[in-house]
């Protein structure tokens, strides 16, 4: 999707209203309009990129400190930081965003499926070598 049509780029440009919380040269933060819990908010880089690896490091570097500020300002004690990449990974809006989602109780906030596999040391060892060789 182009930056011209992107809903979050349009929010940054002020073409669509938002409940803005923070803005710097590199990032913008606002309340999520369909919150999972009270205080659920989003931090986005100003560069339009669909996935984490499409965004420059200097903008990525501001996302977590901003999420930390928002967690403190909302008074969240327990919370999840979430960033989805790709529709099968639950990404709906194609502009990188970090969620800060307060977890006030079992029912509200993020619920997570965690289908852990058995530990396989041989497979982990081979994978470890493979990934290291590519960095």
Determine contact, residues 54/66, Cβ cutoff 8 Å: no
Q: Which of 40, 48, 95, 97 is catalytic?
A: 97
- The 70-109 site mask, x for binding ligand AMP (CB under 6 A), equals --------------x-----xxxx----------------
> 18, 37, 74, 80: which one contacts ligand AMP (CB under 6 A)?
18
**Listing from the earlier edge strand, what are the strands of the sheet with 27-31?**
20-23, 27-31, 41-45, 98-102, 79-82
Kindly state whether residue 9 participates in binding Zn ion, applying the rule CB under 5 A: yes
Query: Has 97 been annotated as catalytic?
Result: yes
- Which runs of consecutive H residues, i.e. helices, occur in the chain? 7-12, 57-74, 121-133
Question: In terms of CB distance, is 64 or 93 closer to ligand AMP?
Answer: 93
Catalytic residues: 97
């Amino acid at each position: 999707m182009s930056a011209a049509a992107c809903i979050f780029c349009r929010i940054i440009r002020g073409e669509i209203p938002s409940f803005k919380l923070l803005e710097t040269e590199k990032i913008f933060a606002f309340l999520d309009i369909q919150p999972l819990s009270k205080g659920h908010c989003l931090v986005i880089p100003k560069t339009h990129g669909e996935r984490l690896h499409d965004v420059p490091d200097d903008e990525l570097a501001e996302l977590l400190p901003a999420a930390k500020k928002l967690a403190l300002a909302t008074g969240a004690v327990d919370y999840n930081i979430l960033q989805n990449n790709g529709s099968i990974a639950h990404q709906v809006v194609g502009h990188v965003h970090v969620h800060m989602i307060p977890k006030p109780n079992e029912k509200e906030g993020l619920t997570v499926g965690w289908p852990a596999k058995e530990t396989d040391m041989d497979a982990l060892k081979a994978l470890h070598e493979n990934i290291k060789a590519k960095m």
